[in-house]
Structure 1
Amino acid sequence: MRPSTPPGPAGHPGSAGRPAPAPAARTASPWSLALLGTGVFLLVLAPLLVWYVTPRAAVTPVDVDVTTVFAGTGSYFDTGSLTTRERQRITVTRHVLGDVAAAERSGRAVWDVSTTVDTPQTLPLNDPRRAFQWTTGRWVTDRRSNAPVHCCGESPGRFDGDAYLKFPFDVAKRTYRWWDDTLGAAVPLRFAGTTRLSGITGYRFTGTVPATRTGTRQVPGRLVGRPEQGQIQAEEWYANTGISLVVEERTGRIVDASISPLKTLRAPGARRDAVVLLRARNLAFTPATRRAQVTLARAESGKLTLVGRTLPVVAAAGGGALALAGGVLVARGGRRGGRFSPV
């Protein structure tokens, strides 16, 4: 008799000597790999938005075309009648136009600024050359720090300070040096509290300018108490009894402002004013200007907040959740079933 075939490992006859089946391969599904990859990408994107994208988004615009208007009541010297007119409406209009071509060449913010002071007689003329006072300037600043830059034909060349047409980004609760064009120097403005304006947070900064001699002007001697002299080089003096600026904290944009300028004439060496050229108390942004500035500040701040805060938080949170879920699925894997093949 032929011996019977011994049973195989699983109790099946005839399986002796056959190789054991290989363990099933562990594989990850495309869905789990996609989750993991997306999560890692978002985790890398979050710090990039904060440290790389945001600093490059927080730059002073170069293609500006903005008009701001101050209005209030004051007095001015009428050269026609040689008298001071009291309780008159004073309007200060400032137009800022960016020189895009110069900005692209230099990498700076280059703004041409025209400022007119108008009385009820000159305002309807709508001509800066016939305004009560007209000044122009060319302001060049670093687009990130807002610091003055001496290039590109800037005027005045002595421009200095931390702020003028705007403050630096991410305004701090500290003293800033604000450039006063009439004074020709920077004025310290101190932090004076936080205020809410049309739904946005603003920092208020205040300061004053003591009476300071700013130049001379040739006038008839009798205007300054020197009737014996036909013409005289009278001294021009300037003061500002109240500067108040409200600045949007994220962008540094001035959303509200009021000033109280005083310009006078004195006889050479005199200690008292002889003629009031211009006096105004609380020349402030008009409601239309305030609304326009708030709208611009809200839009600019929203973009910076989106890039610097909202998107990084969402990317970090979403990336962490997706990476965790994808990692769990990849670790768990899937078993691919195999089958035995004959030798």
Structure 2
Amino acid sequence: MRRVIGYVFLLVGAFALAAAAVAGFWGRDAAATVPLNVDTKTVLEGTASGALAKSDTPVAVKYTRTTQAAPDDSTDEVVVFVETACIMIQEGETPTCARAEDDERVVTASERAYAMDRKTSEVVKDQVKYVGEERAVEGMTGLAGKFPFDTQRHDYNYWDDTLGTTVIATYVDDVEVEGVKTYQFEVSASSDDEILSKGEDGEADTDDDVRGSYEATQTIYVEPTTGSYIDQTATQKMVTSSGMVLIDAEMSYDDKTVSTNAEDAEANISKLTLIGTWIPVGGLVAGLLFLLVGLWLVLSGRKPNGGSHAAADDRTLVDA
């Protein structure tokens, strides 16, 4: 019976070592993948002035962005995101968003779709393949929605929708936000002659384009293990070539968004740590213990060499 239990321990030990090896060499990498069920809402609060804000002086505004994955358009390697964003002047019971023709409190409203590599978090080159020709942004590259898993302390290429090109997200410092370790990145984008609006025809580089200067800054606090945003502040200013201020805004994540981001990041870090560290280490230790105990039980359960046959032979000699 002892030998049977020993063989069971050996089998369990071998299984534990195999599980540790799989988790160590494959599990962590598999877990560090952008999921296909993303459905988040981000809220920034602040002030804005200018023609779009219908005020020469700063008024209270709220920027709401929803980000949803489109699993039917995604693959094992690429995830498609659809983002809708809206800036609303805060007057009375203001809706999250509305159509500009229906509500004068709308400052801006937009929608974009893009395809991102689920491992590197960089947008893929062939956007048309995943989001269609009508929604694809030509030449889109760099980071758009999040930073990569295991974000490093160096600069990254960061996509700017208005400029239609990448700018540099510069690493600044390590900063703790809501008890979560983050990397602070600074992003600056500017142009003295940029298309601020494509005009009524919706086509760029035509006679009815509105051109002018564009300045934007972002301070992004990134949790490095997951690459997710914890906090963010942003400014944006657009002035037409005729000198009219279209928008001059300054906003930052509201407290609820920061708190939710911190909680989600901590939960995801725990999952990655479990799969990438505790299961491999625990499986290795448990596997070795089971193997040692199983080996001892098997060896100790064996009878001495010639034990049963020797006893029978001895009895025969005595009887004779």
Q: TM-score range by the shorter chain?
A: 0.7 to 0.9
Separation in structure 2 between the aligned mates of residue 234 and residue 147 of structure 1, nearest angstrom: 30
TM-score w.r.t. structure 1 length? 0.77
- For residues 194-209 of structure 1, the aligned pairs below 5 Å read 194-209=174-189
User: 8 Å contact 1:69–1:94 — kept in the other structure?
Assistant: yes
> Aligned letter for 1:279?
D
Separation in structure 2 between the aligned mates of residue 157 and residue 233 of structure 1, nearest angstrom: 18
Residue 285 of structure 2: aligned partner: 317
- For residues 1-343 of structure 1, the aligned pairs below 5 Å read 29-77=3-51, 84-104=55-75, 107-120=77-90, 124-130=94-100, 131-149=106-124, 150=126, 151-152=129-130, 153=132, 155-161=136-142, 163-215=143-195, 234-240=210-216, 242-267=217-242, 274-281=243-250, 283-335=251-303, 337-338=307-308, 339-340=311-312, 342=316
> Aligned letter for 1:95?
T
User: 8 Å contact 2:213–2:241 — kept in the other structure?
Assistant: yes
Could you tell me which runs of 5 or more consecutive residues in structure 1 were left unpaired when the two chains were aligned. Answer: 1-26, 220-230, 268-273
Kindly state the Cα deviation for residue 94 of structure 1 after the two structures are TM-superposed.
Answer: 0.8
User: Which secondary structure does the structure 1 equivalent of 2:292 belong to?
Assistant: helix
> Aligned letter for 1:280?
A
* Change in CA separation of 1:208 and 1:78 when aligned onto 2, cut-off 3 Å: closer
> Aligned letter for 1:302?
S
Cα offsets for 1:77-114 (capped at 9, x unmatched): 2586xxx421211221111111121125x752011111
Question: Structure 1 stretches (4+) deviating beyond 4 angstroms?
Answer: 216-219, 231-234
Separation in structure 2 between the aligned mates of residue 245 and residue 323 of structure 1, nearest angstrom: 49
Kindly state the Cα deviation for residue 123 of structure 1 after the two structures are TM-superposed.
Answer: 7.8
Separation in structure 2 between the aligned mates of residue 260 and residue 128 of structure 1, nearest angstrom: 22
* Change in CA separation of 1:61 and 1:232 when aligned onto 2, cut-off 3 Å: closer
User: Which secondary structure does the structure 2 equivalent of 1:111 belong to?
Assistant: strand
Could you tell me which runs of 5 or more consecutive residues in structure 2 were left unpaired when the two chains were aligned. Answer: 101-105, 200-206
User: 8 Å contact 1:217–1:236 — kept in the other structure?
Assistant: no
* Change in CA separation of 1:232 and 1:183 when aligned onto 2, cut-off 3 Å: closer
Aligned-CA RMSD value: 2.7
Greater shift, 130-139 or 119-128, is seen at 119-128
> Aligned letter for 2:73?
A
Separation in structure 1 between the aligned mates of residue 53 and residue 187 of structure 2, nearest angstrom: 31
Q: Choose 1 or 2 for highest CA Rg.
A: 1
* Change in CA separation of 1:300 and 1:183 when aligned onto 2, cut-off 3 Å: same
Separation in structure 1 between the aligned mates of residue 38 and residue 280 of structure 2, nearest angstrom: 29
Separation in structure 1 between the aligned mates of residue 161 and residue 246 of structure 2, nearest angstrom: 17
Separation in structure 2 between the aligned mates of residue 79 and residue 165 of structure 1, nearest angstrom: 26
> Aligned letter for 1:310?
W
Separation in structure 1 between the aligned mates of residue 198 and residue 16 of structure 2, nearest angstrom: 69
TM-score w.r.t. structure 2 length? 0.82
* Change in CA separation of 1:335 and 1:216 when aligned onto 2, cut-off 3 Å: closer
> Aligned letter for 2:167?
V
* Identity over aligned pairs, percent: 23
Cα offsets for 1:282-322 (capped at 9, x unmatched): x1101111112122222222211110111111111221222
> Aligned letter for 2:87?
V
User: 8 Å contact 1:247–1:256 — kept in the other structure?
Assistant: yes
Greater shift, 252-261 or 122-131, is seen at 122-131
Separation in structure 2 between the aligned mates of residue 302 and residue 97 of structure 1, nearest angstrom: 23
User: 8 Å contact 2:158–2:166 — kept in the other structure?
Assistant: yes
